[in-house]
Structure 1
């Protein structure tokens, strides 16, 4: 009994039930006898009721009917789950579109624009202007600094340095070394 309970905990219910049905069907086929009194299903279908001598809870026709019904329900469940997932993805997409639309409307209202076409036109113009500014800045950066690997402009690389940023009075400071030759009133630590 403990082995049976552990088996039920480890396996999914559908797999366990399928194995039980297959086992019962095999038992019926191996040890089958024709039952004198047919079950209701076999009687309605007009077929022979074949059951197992050892386990006669169900006949073969009833087992097939149950297995077919189970497979049909399982297929319907999978289709319904797939449709549910697709609907969830659609809802997510629509929520994103709604959120973006609300942001655009807020931008339009903040600018005093009445319709989205006007907002789209203005945003397109601004985007084109920003792209043109970026392209111009990149062009200026490429032409203003000489290329040190280019032999024609390599000599002018020194000219690109802003020499006014250097303070010549710093050359007179004595930082405690014996290399300094300038006259300075500022002495470093000794």
Structure 2
């Protein structure tokens, strides 16, 4: 798929077919997150890849928006070390956002759907994933083939009008 096609085909997928994801495809998706930019190349992030059905079911309970993880072929947990410094926390979250989008885009390029989720129950998430204390499981990304329809470019995405969102040279009131 071309980059633009992957961008315009990517959508949140919350229901998946039961088909497994080939290991090489899952590795490529995670590698996209690994390759994502990081402020000062600090790389304060780790990824935990889960394909075990029981673990996926347990992970689906760590946040009200994570139920789709139970039906995914895999999940990718994005983990960062805890920090008392607000600047470090903000930059780490920005870096995780870049890694998340790289993962979502790489999956779409392969025709694989993704759905992201926050994590509320940190102690539970760390226990399920074996993440040591001093780290936060920030996000989960469900990965699998869409159950409803394959990914394909969307001509009219459900977004605010482009002309309303893009301001050129100065802010313009709507």
**Fold-level match, TM-score > 0.5?**
no
Structure of greater relative contact order (alpha carbons < 8 Å, 6+ residues apart) = 2
- Looking at secondary structure, tell me which structure has more strand per residue: 2
TM-score by length of 1: 0.16
TM-score by length of 2: 0.17
Greater CA radius of gyration, 1 or 2?
A: 1
- Looking at secondary structure, tell me which structure has more helix per residue: 1
